[in-house]
């Protein structure tokens, strides 16, 4: 006979003279008491450790306190895609010397410890009371492992853009806590955002200029270790720009003279020299040389050899690339006195007697000029 039925029989036998309503009320109170007592004995997890944040190489301990679970298995699992079974009851299942399990019978607490924490240990750990295949009581604790920033491969590595176009450089990094991304330029030059630094994963330049080209630094930092950095090279394609250091040059007959122009362009341009709309080439009258000082800068020199009358006049330095072209003029005119350089020590062109006579005349003119001062 059940406990509630015994209570009902005893009440009926001992309280036959009591009013029926009192008997019924007493019976209901007894049944509520019994049901409440039974409900209190349902297995529960009374405590679970809160989220833990640890460094690589550290130690962590998770506590799971249970009540009314002495007849049921208590297990620890790690949830990382597929669940990894770690322990059952007071027995450790995983074969890893870094893991340990202790059971404290006084507090009914299952203590899971992990030593020498690795990055792969991060995840959700679950303490679970298994009452049946479908009836379980669970509690979770999150383990986060501090990791230094590592810039991802999907970040921008280098970029080539045409002048005036929009440019977008991207930088992403893994790590915990989530890294902050800072942008800087080489030599702390001002960014196109008009500031020395910029915070964010994406650095945008709405209309890129040739002055924006160069090296940009993407720096990821989260306070763990020294952070990570990537150098991103931005090349800006632009039409040639030519500057002439000396637009007018004088030289005496039968001497050499160098005509120069400096070209700024990317991609590197084709460079030619012209006179009277005729392209010049290397021969006994002219020598052309180009010297690239950087990807975007080229110095071009035209040497006019043993100048003759017909070689005086305007020369054109012309540069062409896929974005456009530019040209600049240099005027070569006749002088009586040779200009040095490049005429210094020049005594091997033309007739030797004429050269010697010209040199003596030049010296005489210079001396006369000095004495008359």
Q: What is the pLDDT of residues 202-249, one digit of tens each?
A: 999 999 999 999 999 999 999 998 899 999 999 999 999 999 999 999
- In order of 160, 209, 268, 289, 351, the CA distances from 318 in angstroms are 24, 22, 13, 14, 35
Sequence-distant (≥ 6) Cβ neighbours of residue 8 within 8 angstroms = 27
pLDDT of residue 371: 42
pLDDT of residue 83: 86
Instruction: Identify whether the C-beta of residue 83 lies closer than 8 Å to the C-beta of residue 77.
Output: yes
Q: Is the pLDDT of residue 32 over 60?
A: no
Tens of pLDDT along 78-120? 986 678 999 999 999 999 999 999 999 999 999 999 999 999 9
Instruction: Identify whether the C-beta of residue 111 lies closer than 8 Å to the C-beta of residue 92.
Output: no
- In order of 34, 66, 361, 370, the CA distances from 365 in angstroms are 133, 114, 6, 9
- In order of 240, 243, 256, 275, the CA distances from 328 in angstroms are 11, 7, 21, 12
Tens of pLDDT along 237-290? 999 999 999 999 999 999 999 999 999 999 999 999 999 999 999 999 999 999
Q: Return the C-alpha torsion angle 240, 241, 245, 249, nearest 10.
A: 60
Q: Which two tokens mark 69?
A: 């679970």
Percent of the chain whose predicted confidence (pLDDT) is above 90: 76
pLDDT of residue 294: 82
Q: Is the pLDDT of residue 22 over 70?
A: no
Q: Which two tokens mark 124?
A: 């959700």
Tens of pLDDT along 146-200? 999 999 999 999 999 999 999 999 999 999 999 999 999 999 999 999 999 999 9
Task: Supply the DSSP symbol for 10.
Answer: H
- Band (pLDDT 50/70/90 cuts) for residue 345 is low
Q: Which two tokens mark 161?
A: 């853009």
Q: How many CB atoms lie within 10 A of CB 252?
A: 16
The reply to whether omega before 341 is within 30° of 0 (cis) is yes
Helix, strand, coil percent content, the chain, rounded in steps of 5: 15, 45, 35
**Cα torsion angle, 281, 287, 291, 297, sign:** negative
What are the structural domains, with CATH classification, of the chain?
44-146 (2.60.40.10), 152-238 (2.60.40.10), 244-334 (2.60.40.10)
- Strand duo 198-199 + 136-151: pairing: unpaired
Q: Which two tokens mark 130?
A: 């298994």
- Band (pLDDT 50/70/90 cuts) for residue 50 is very high
Percent of the chain whose predicted confidence (pLDDT) is above 70: 81
Task: Supply the DSSP symbol for 211.
Answer: G
For all residues of the chain together, what is the average pLDDT?
Answer: 86
- Give dist(CA 110, CA 115) in Å, integer: 17
Q: Which two tokens mark 274?
A: 């012209």
pLDDT of residue 365: 43
């Amino acid at each position: 006979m059940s406990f509630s039925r015994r209570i009902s029989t005893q009440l009926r036998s001992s309280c036959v003279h009591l009013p029926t309503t009192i008997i019924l009320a007493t019976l209901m109170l007894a049944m509520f008491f019994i049901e409440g007592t039974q409900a209190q004995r349902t297995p529960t997890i009374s405590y679970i450790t809160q989220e833990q944040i640890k460094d690589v190489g550290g130690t962590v301990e998770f506590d799971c306190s249970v009540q009314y679970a002495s007849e049921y298995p208590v297990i620890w699992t790690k949830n990382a895609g597929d669940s990894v079974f770690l322990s059952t009851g007071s027995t450790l299942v995983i074969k890893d010397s870094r893991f340990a399990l202790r059971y404290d019978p006084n507090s009914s607490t299952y203590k899971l410890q992990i030593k020498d924490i690795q990055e792969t240990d991060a995840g959700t750990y679950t303490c679970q009371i298994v009452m049946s295949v479908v009836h379980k009581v669970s509690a979770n604790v999150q383990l986060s492992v501090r990791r230094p920033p590592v810039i991802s491969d999907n970040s921008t590595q280098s970029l080539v853009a045409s002048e005036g176009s929009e440019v977008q450089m991207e930088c992403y990094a893994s790590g915990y806590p989530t890294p902050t991304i800072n942008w800087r330029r080489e030599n702390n030059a001002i960014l196109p955002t008009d500031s020395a630094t910029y915070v964010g994963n994406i650095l945008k330049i709405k209309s890129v200029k040739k002055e924006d080209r160069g090296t940009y630094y993407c720096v990821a930092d989260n306070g763990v270790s020294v952070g990570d950095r990537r150098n991103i090279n931005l090349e800006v394609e632009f039409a040639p720009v030519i500057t002439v250091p000396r637009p007018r040059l004088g030289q005496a007959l039968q001497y050499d003279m160098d005509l120069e122009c400096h070209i700024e362009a990317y991609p590197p341009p084709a460079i030619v020299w012209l006179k009277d709309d005729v392209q010049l080439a290397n021969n006994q009258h002219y020598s052309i040389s180009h010297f690239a000082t950087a990807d975007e800068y080229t110095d071009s020199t035209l040497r006019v050899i043993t100048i003759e009358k017909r070689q005086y006049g305007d020369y054109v330095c012309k540069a062409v690339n896929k974005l456009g072209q530019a040209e600049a003029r240099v005027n070569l005119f006749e002088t009586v006195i040779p200009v040095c350089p490049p005429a210094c020590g020049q005594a091997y062109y033309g007739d030797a007697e004429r050269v010697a006579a010209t040199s003596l005349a030049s010296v005489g003119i210079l001396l006369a000029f000095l004495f008359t001062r």
